[in-house]
Structure 1
Amino acid sequence: MKVTIPNYDSRNGWIDVEHKLLYVEYREDIPFAAITAFYVPEADKPYWRKVYWDFFPNGGDTNDMRYYENGSGGSLEEGINACKFAKPVEVWISSEIVIKGEFVNAVFLPKPKGDPFKEAQETPSYIYCKKCNEYYDDYMEPEPCEHICLSNDGELVYRDNGEKVND
Structure 2
Amino acid sequence: MAMDTRMARAFGLEGDAWQRHANPWSVYTRIPIPPLLAVAIWSRTRIGWWSLVPVAAVCAWTAVDPRAFPPPRSLDHWASRSVLGETHWAQRRQVPVPARHRVAPNVLAALSTLGVPFVVRGLAVRNGWMVLFGLAVQMSGKVWFLDRMAILHDDVVPAGAPGGPAGPGTSQR
Q: Do both share a fold (TM > 0.5)?
A: no
Higher helix share: 2
TM-score (norm 1): 0.23
TM-score (norm 2): 0.22
Higher strand share: 1
Greater relative contact order (Cα < 8 A, sep 6+)? 2
